[in-house]
A and B are shown apart, each in its own frame.
Chain A
């Protein structure tokens, strides 16, 4: 793999051993669409390690054995690539980038990142905005990145919007981040300019500790994507930019409660389709509605009926991505047995007691936040959430077993 940056344009060429098919770090099979993308606002004088790690978030799935950058990187980044992926990276010859002083929030506008933002009210935002790729036909015009960017602007926080078409380098399953970490590509390139030493993501307990989403559906203390000692955590840290998960110890029920109670609640939007509000019609809206109804202890309010596509997933037996939140919702939403989740309810034996652990913070998630930002998160969780008991911790640590 050879990588070249021309301003903010990343171009990459596959080596003889590389392939246009591969797997993202979460194990999902992916296929390459094209080999160039643009990231706006990249300062020409950013540290070479920042250019290298930003590029790696785009090219990792296609790279098999070697990667050659267009400028010398530090031995630390080369070592992190070697130890994490078995990839020879070079040329080596730069001084490592010292850690910056500030923490920024990678802000999508969804409930999880709003909750992460509420932990650090002074942290600046970096918002990734998808723009069309000039060479790839855009068959996804319903994705309203403009609406999300507008909402981010209204928060009043210090904000940098990074525009990028890097998601169109992915052909399958559809345009999206080649690696989940590609959302940070713009923040990485801006790290010197913004004096960043950490980047806070909205990934919550399900993603960090319970193998949620596409992942493993079991307890994952050594999560390769988000653990500080996982390969991505070590790579980011080697470029002086620590991965920080302010809400990594709490469930989506807690992030929902925090988001709806925060001063940013008017700007929360987890739906990528709606313009004046969430579309209420997509699968994500249905999932979030279940959580919100559970948090607000009210009946489910959705126009989606059992015969519609977003409902079908819930007629099949588990496991589901985000299953802990399904259990939480089934145990709490009044009248759930008369909704499209009636069938799902048959697969579970849940109660408020059995899902109560999802209302508290898993303490190891705070311990792994870098020292500079740990105390603030600990104080926030103690005041607003409360920590898990030993029994509740065991629920996390035996998840999926």
Chain B
């Protein structure tokens, strides 16, 4: 290894130049403290978010309002079935009512449009 005598002034200048290129130990310590603080903050946020996810998950499982009891569900089912059955009767009666109306019409006007195949009226009580 070769040693070269360097003037103290030059050596100091070079060292100062080098030192200016690097962060001081004190600054490093501060950076590490800051990073730790960030990690802790993030950890707290993740815990909060996890709690929020859990809360939402539970909220989805439970219906918003008070859940209807089994009796209420059974009653709605019964009502739907009875209504549908009643509507069957209404629809069949409608056919019979039109049959009676058309019969009366043809008696009132035996050679009327009904006998000649004219289009049916579009009247309908409900559609």
Chain A: residues with CB nearer than 8 A to chain B?
2, 4, 6, 11, 13-16, 18, 20, 31-35, 68-70, 90-91, 134-137, 139, 171
B117 touches A135 (CB 8 A): no
Q: Does B94 contact A (CB under 8 A)?
A: yes
Known: A2-B102, A137-B87. A20 touches B92 (CB 8 A): yes
Known: A13-B98, A16-B99, A134-B127. A70 touches B84 (CB 8 A): no
Chain B residues 80-127 with CB under 8 Å of chain A are 83-84, 87-88, 91-92, 94-96, 98-99, 102-103, 106, 114-120, 122, 127
B88 touches A171 (CB 8 A): yes
Number of interchain pairs (Cβ within 8 Å): 65
How far apart sit A31 and B119, CA to CA, in the bound complex (Å)? 25
Collect the chain A residues with CB atoms within 8 Å of residue B87's CB.
136-137
B95 touches A11 (CB 8 A): no
How far apart sit A243 and B84, CA to CA, in the bound complex (Å)? 37
Interface size class on chain B is 20 to 34
B interface SS class: helix
Collect the chain B residues with CB atoms within 8 Å of residue A4's CB.
119-120
Which of A11, A31, A90, A136 lies in contact with B117, CB distance below 8 A?
Answer: A90
B127 touches A32 (CB 8 A): no
Minimum C-beta distance from A44 to chain B (A): 14
Minimum C-beta distance from A20 to chain B (A): 6
A34 touches B117 (CB 8 A): no
How far apart sit A35 and B95, CA to CA, in the bound complex (Å)? 7
B99 touches A13 (CB 8 A): yes
Known: A15-B102, A137-B84. A32 touches B95 (CB 8 A): yes
Known: A90-B117, A135-B127. A34 touches B96 (CB 8 A): no
Collect the chain A residues with CB atoms within 8 Å of residue B88's CB.
33, 136-137, 171
How far apart sit A33 and B87, CA to CA, in the bound complex (Å)? 10
Which of A13, A18, A90, A139 lies in contact with B84, CB distance below 8 A?
Answer: A139
A68 touches B117 (CB 8 A): yes
Minimum C-beta distance from A313 to chain B (A): 26
A13 touches B117 (CB 8 A): no
